[in-house]
Amino acid sequence: MDSSMSSSGQALLLIRNPVRSPLILASGNLRNISPKKVEVGSQRKLATSIPAPPSSTNSTVPQPIKIDGTVETRRMLLMANVFRSVDELIHKYLDLPLRPSIDPEHVLSGNFAPVHELAPTECEVIRGSIPTWLDGAYIRNGPNPQFHPAGPYHLFEGDGMLHLIRISGGKAKLCSRYVQTHKYLAERAAGSPVIPNFYSSFNGIPAAAMRVILASARALACHYNPANGIGMANTGVARIGHGLYALGESDLPYAIRVTGDGDVETVGRFDFNGALSQSMTAHPKLDADTGEVFAFQYNALHPFLTYFRIDPDGTKTHEVPISSLTRPSFFHDFAVTKKYAIFCDSQLGINSFKKIIQGGPLVGADLSKVPRLGVLPRYAADDSEMRWFDVPGFNMVHSVNAWDEEEANEIVLVAPNAQSIGHALERLDLVNPSIEKVRINLKTGNISRNTISPSNLEFSAINPSYLGKKNTYAYAAIGDPLPKIKGMVKLDVTGDEEAVVGRRMYGEGCFGGEPCFVARDPCDPDAKEDDGCLVTYLHDESTGESRFLVMDAKSANLEVLAELKLPQRVPYGFHGLFIRGSDLGQPQKN
């Protein structure tokens, strides 16, 4: 990697991982946040409270002080107004013309626009009926900025909001709540954005440099504390040990709790008893057979990739730095089998300093690079057995599943291939991913690849009980093109040819999200793999209404079993999961 790449990599580190040392926690390994039910206020109005200087306990929550007329309060209010004015001047005079991918007027249009929080509210069943066996909560994460951006904004940015639908006894309630991250609370207290966005702030060197200086000034003025994290927790939701977490790969996990009345609360920022000092992937892998969770973190400085495991009781094991990776790459997801962990060193990475100066994004594609798949033993003590296999033209952003075929000494990986990876962060509509089946022969080193789906398939799901094991069925969203989703397909992944065996289109002007598979009875050893349902949110752009679909996962047309009219619009978002009612009834020890 050249020196210009190295310097831009250091800039990336400052934004993604502002502190590398273990956190000082107020209570055990969790900094408690007292959940507050707040509605989004005026996007331009200054809040009536501002954060006080961090106390000696290093609390993660900005401590609001009332507007009581004291000199200190007036000083901090004045500084908040000054900082906001400087931010507006940076955008007006230093920002390069906004590309569509970072223009908030474009990015936040239609059903990508944010919504207010919503307390648990009854949903109306307008078609069919909810299966009697379906009991639990579907939680989906996604970006929902609490303030309209003053400058550039990317689709992947925005405060995390959890949209939870609690189903029980044939009825359902919807609630929408912000993940109360340090960033969210600091900006709510300041009444405007405070912390620079990761993807969009590098809109030319002058503007980027001034935003770094402004962010530093805000930190010195105690408007936020970088040591408490700057992430948005807007990407996924995961069950780890006995806890439930909202995830974003720019920060530590945030523990959340589902209440008895179907609400969701933020508990606090979590670091596994001081064992996790940096961010982690938003796509950890839960082995349903063992209860173990496998995860990784990537960085702009060496080691660029680190793998680790979390035991069923929530204890994080030692880390395995991957020293054979010689330059930073963009690792969003990975795959695990019963014996191995598989990583894709794709063409996505940090752009050259020259390209950033010219107004390009911080993260981009190096099309001269040959993508590789890295295979590491699942329980490796170090990276001495890490093997890399060249796979020209294969760029995996998300995985579907992977398994071992021991007789052939092969690993089988099923994943979408982002064929036009150069457009991944700028023009998602041009990426056109197709799902491929990749065989890695560990004896010969040979790689074989077969496309098993039409183009424009992403955001997949399987029966969670089959993660890491050979499965038959996968479900994937159909782009219209991406990021909008016009339907979903059911795939038979056992063969090496195109294998669509089921399809559901949502209809004109209707767009959905990632499918989520819910097994009828995951404890039944004789149950069919596809014996269950698929759930997802749906939005009708012609009426402005959002709905919730429950579909039969076994049927060829993915028959709609129930359709619910939601009391509030649910914006398009990212990833989620279903928590069974029996699990919600257990203590959530996070």
User: Which residues fall in the annotated binding site for Fe cation?
Assistant: 283, 332, 398, 575
Amino acid at 524: D
Cβ within 8 Å of residue 530, ≥6 positions away: 463, 472, 473, 490, 553, 554
Amino acid at 398: H
Rounded Cα–Cα distance for residues 311 and 304 (Å): 24
Helices 182-190 & 71-93, crossing angle to 10 degrees?
100
Rounded Cα–Cα distance for residues 28 and 379 (Å): 28
Contact present, 454 and 476 (Cβ < 8 Å):
no
The candidate with the shortest Cα–Cα distance to 393, out of 443, 459, 449, is 449
Partners of residue 344 on adjacent β-strands:
373
Pairing of the two strands 532-540 and 136-143:
unpaired
Rounded Cα–Cα distance for residues 203 and 226 (Å): 22
* Helix or strand holding residue 228 (H, E): none
**What are the backbone dihedrals phi and psi of residue 451, each rounded to the nearest 5 degrees, phi first?**
-85, 125
Helix/strand/coil for 323: coil
For the chain, the distance separating the N- and C-terminal CA atoms, rounded to the nearest angstrom, is 41
Neighbours of 385 (CB within 10 A): 11
Rounded Cα–Cα distance for residues 279 and 256 (Å): 17
Annotated binding site: 283, 332, 398, 575
Peptide bond into 392 cis (omega under 30): no
- Burial of residue 78 (CB within 10 Å: 0-12, 13-18, 19+) is exposed
User: Which tokens in the block code for residue 404?
Assistant: 């071992």
User: Which tokens in the block code for residue 46?
Assistant: 């200054």
Rounded Cα–Cα distance for residues 425 and 153 (Å): 12
- Residue ranges with strand state E in 79-170: 118-122, 124-128, 136-143, 160-168
User: Which tokens in the block code for residue 253?
Assistant: 């996990």
User: Which tokens in the block code for residue 320?
Assistant: 């395995």
* Helix or strand holding residue 78 (H, E): helix 71-93
Provide the greatest CA pair distance for the chain: 76
- Burial of residue 291 (CB within 10 Å: 0-12, 13-18, 19+) is middle
